[in-house]
Structure 1
Amino acid sequence: MELWQYDATDLARLIRTGRASAREAVDSVLGRLDKVNPAINAVVRVLGDEARAVAETADAARARGHALPPLHGVPVTTKVNVDQTGLPTDNGVVPLKDFIATEDSPVVANLKHAGAIIVGRTNAPAFSMRIFTDNALHGRTLNARDPELTPGGSSGGAGAATATGIGAIAHGNDIGGSVRIPAYCNGVVGLRTGFGRIPSFNPSAPQGRPIGAVLMAVQGPHTRTVRDARLALEAMARGDRRDWRWNDVPMQGPPPARPIKVAIVPEAPGGRTHPAQGAAVRLAGKHLQAAGYVVEEILPPDMERGVELWHLICVTDVFGGLWPQMQKMGDPDGIASMQGWLDLHKPTDLPTYVAALTEREGLLLKWMRFFQQWPLVILPTLCDLPPRQRADTTKAGQGEILESMRVALLAPLLGLPGLAVPVGSHGKLRTGVQIMAMRNREDLCLDAGEVIEAAEGVVTPIDPVRG
């Protein structure tokens, strides 16, 4: 087996024990990148020379007997919307192509501190605001399973890179599904962490963010194994006291009452759910039931109202800040997509906005009570199959996509973790579910994900399907 085929856990072990070098691992992944990336355009900035130099230093450190961090020598990728020293934080926007970061964002610094070697930067839509990964600066990322379909977004480059073996861990971020949706579309694992778990800000940002982004936007990894998601989480979550939201809490929470009860939602209220996605949720429930979990079809509180609150808060934030920037600097498809969203979900006035934030707090309390009885909730990752490229550039198409996304909006609204894992298949695509738990209980999501993975089989890299 070639080194690029290993997951991060095994690759780190090979490097640590001297059975492979960091340089060999980097060269292997860069070779894989050269082979498959032209077909999918997942990595839009290759850092080959820089990665090889870091790998040489890493190998020298091991040769001198230094203590090795957990990801020592493991090749990873980062997304173009986070600061990485000496590189542009372009966010898929042409006028930002020379906006060079002078220091690392915490998640990038944490990956480096853990010994990971960054081999490239992955694509995102303009301003990271679509579930399609296409922009005027870097072009379109294709789904490795079906190039006619979206690879997801906004971390679509990360999901496609992971699926095809360009690194074992790909950084992403999520305010409305941007880690979980690409994981689903590409058939890999994606962990949206809970509020404050991973320190998150860009030192280059000229000012603070709207309250919706403060409460909902988080960082997280794409991986091919659940154990790698756990390993990446521990690396990414290293503390940074500059972020007041960062949670200094253990990765492992207190054990819940046994048997653990799981609420499954095969058909989400508020619209249609594709039968294959409903079947994936029921199959995930069967896997967990076989492992001793108690599984029941039951709805968490006020799901439809939660979706409405996400839109109300986020669209008002966007209209007041990001929409003027998108109109000025975005590409035509990004503008059309955002215009469709604004047409379907109108921004509101200040009293209604404040009332929505207050109602969000009340809904979160209801969900916390629900989690006392049902520590895990399993939903489809999207309610429908991955949409065709550019499907969001009309108002009608955007409406269908937002209906499909309704299950992805609850975790960010409430600041909860969500683990996307492949379950079942539909043609050449993987179907998939997301596992949600209360804040700071990523461990429960990961434990359940490992049970499902054991039944479904570990994800292995695929070759891109040529269009």
Structure 2
Amino acid sequence: MTSSQIWQWGAVETAAAIRSGRVSSEEVTRAHVERLRAKNPSLNAVVVELTDQALETARAADRLQASGAELPTLHGVPVTIKINIDVEGQANSNGVVALKDNIAPGDAPVTANLKKAGAIILGLTNTPEFSMRAFTDNPLHGQTWSPWDKAITCGGSSGGAAVAVAVGIGCIAHGNDIGGSLRWPAFCNGVATVRPSQGRIPAFNPSATVERPPMAQLMSVQGPLCRDVADLRLALEVMSRRDARDPWWVPAPLEGPPVARRVAKAKIPASLEADPEVLALIDRAAAWLTDAGYEVVELEVPDLDEVFQLWVDLISTEIATLQLQQYREQGSPLFQGALDGILTMAKMLDATEYQQGVAYRTRLIRRWLAMLEDWPVILAPVSVQPTPAYDADLVSTEAVRRIFGNDLRFNMAVSALGVPVVTTPIGYVNGHPVGCQLIGGRFREDVCLDAAAAIEARLGLPAHDLWAR
């Protein structure tokens, strides 16, 4: 076998090949290092290379295997970590020049869980400044480019992660999501991801000097990006292992009791300007689910506009109250413009309004959970428009408002609910990937993943199309 074959394997196949002795951990890591060196210079997905350490870790993994010791789940499997969580000894810069020397004194829970599972970290992936844009560019590490077309965005904020795994740099990419930062780059790059239930995957940065604002804690999640659904299941199991440093972590099972095979296809509000080709792909995904044995009915989701606006108002109020001074002092002029576009969509809440908003969020979640009792999966767009230009949010404040308020309204609204969402590819528009959201009840990632697997079985993997170009 050649190294060009090895980097194409997913995490499940790679782990099995190493465990069986078909290939060594060092051979696998070298294949991914070669792929990184071949593709990354033109894409800038991995902005801190840890390849020397990765090869050392791989050799140690082979020695462990030779000793006859019991091997962990991801023994020898190469992965990447987004540069906004802690990897001990590395700078958690979050794309900000002022944080370039913010050296992590220890590992974040996700990092620790991946290491304990035997994964080998190839490097750290790019993110926009403060992970606050839907486009991955920053003054510290520069622009990350789409592997499909440099004229379009790779998405954000987990843009570097999505690009890396799409082109075959690592089998699993770590990312995170507070307003779509896993699902949007998965859409843009033709890969799959799971935004887990709030409390599923533990989170904490030892480098942090203060705690995150309350709604940021309850709306932000960590998660994997992979090329296929089987790898998502494996990555989710590893990432979600207990870490006592996160008091919100929940020891919920990864699989629940059987549910009705029913899917609600979200009705697109008349107020949204939607591209007919994108909607046609959503319809085709619904037909595929029907073919797989699901009952699919178009229904209106509860209070979409209210949920979206509440997300904007709560997060923006927290930013304005607790974080804006740092953003103004340390963010670049381009970042300031994109940030202003988000803030101008919001009503800044006073203390009473903020508390009322936090309380009202519970009512909105309850309405969605009631729908999910009858319809265990909701099929919805990530974006109702194709992938825009790599700098589309820098055109004007109105452009930012249009991207978030129109194109990504479903994506951002669902972020407020704390429920699991799987994004999986569903086809192409203009040769560029398009994905959908599969939304489930709390801690029923398994139900969402099952539906995603049914779609994947009919579409295939866009990464294979990308590699053939």
User: Which bracket does the TM-score occupy, shorter chain normalised?
Assistant: over 0.9
Moved more, 114-123 or 388-397: 388-397
- What is the CA distance between 1:141 and its match in structure 2? 0.3
Distance 1:392 1:97, change over 3 A: same
C-alpha distance in structure 2 between counterparts of 1:464 and 1:337, whole Å: 33
User: Which residue of 2 is the match for residue 407 of structure 1?
Assistant: 410
- What is the CA distance between 1:269 and its match in structure 2? 5.4
Letter in 1 for 2:178: I
Partner of 1:454, secondary structure, is helix
User: Which residue of 1 is the match for residue 341 of structure 2?
Assistant: 340
TM-score (norm 2): 0.97
Letter in 2 for 1:359: Y
TM-score (norm 1): 0.97
User: Which residue of 1 is the match for residue 437 of structure 2?
Assistant: 434
User: Which residue of 2 is the match for residue 395 of structure 1?
Assistant: 397
Q: Please list every run of at least 4 consecutive aligned residues from structure 1 whose deviation after the TM superposition is greater than 4 angstroms.
A: 461-466
User: Which residue of 1 is the match for residue 120 of structure 2?
Assistant: 117
Moved more, 341-350 or 32-41: 341-350
- What is the CA distance between 1:321 and its match in structure 2? 2.3
User: Which residue of 2 is the match for residue 289 of structure 1?
Assistant: 290
The equivalences for 1:297-376 within 5 A come to: 297-376=298-377
CA contact (8 A) 1:145 1:465 kept: no
Percent identity for Structure 1 against Structure 2? 43
Letter in 2 for 1:189: A
CA contact (8 A) 1:40 1:142 kept: yes
Partner of 1:135, secondary structure, is coil
The equivalences for 1:21-420 within 5 A come to: 21-257=24-260, 260-265=261-266, 267-268=268-269, 270-393=271-394, 394-402=396-404, 403-420=406-423
User: Which residue of 2 is the match for residue 6 of structure 1?
Assistant: 9
Partner of 2:153, secondary structure, is coil
CA contact (8 A) 1:266 1:380 kept: no
Output one character per residue of 1:54-105: Cα deviation in whole Å (capped at 9) or x when no partner. 0001000111111111111010000000001000000000011111001000
C-alpha distance in structure 2 between counterparts of 1:71 and 1:163, whole Å: 19
C-alpha distance in structure 1 between counterparts of 2:49 and 2:431, whole Å: 29
CA contact (8 A) 1:27 1:52 kept: yes
CA contact (8 A) 2:87 2:104 kept: yes
C-alpha distance in structure 2 between counterparts of 1:139 and 1:165, whole Å: 21
Letter in 2 for 1:99: N
Moved more, 115-124 or 318-327: 318-327
C-alpha distance in structure 1 between counterparts of 2:465 and 2:372, whole Å: 37
Letter in 2 for 1:446: L
Letter in 1 for 2:92: T
**Structure 1 portions without partners, runs of 5+:** none
C-alpha distance in structure 2 between counterparts of 1:81 and 1:414, whole Å: 23
C-alpha distance in structure 1 between counterparts of 2:84 and 2:252, whole Å: 27
User: Which residue of 2 is the match for residue 19 of structure 1?
Assistant: 22
Partner of 2:121, secondary structure, is strand
Partner of 1:190, secondary structure, is strand
Output one character per residue of 1:399-428: Cα deviation in whole Å (capped at 9) or x when no partner. 111121111123220101111111021122
Aligned length: 464
Moved more, 126-135 or 347-356: 347-356
User: Which residue of 1 is the match for residue 460 of structure 2?
Assistant: 457
C-alpha RMSD of matched pairs (Å): 1.4
**Structure 2 portions without partners, runs of 5+:** none
CA contact (8 A) 2:26 2:59 kept: yes
CA contact (8 A) 1:147 1:465 kept: no
- What is the CA distance between 1:346 and its match in structure 2? 3.3
Output one character per residue of 1:142-173: Cα deviation in whole Å (capped at 9) or x when no partner. 11111111101000000111111111100000
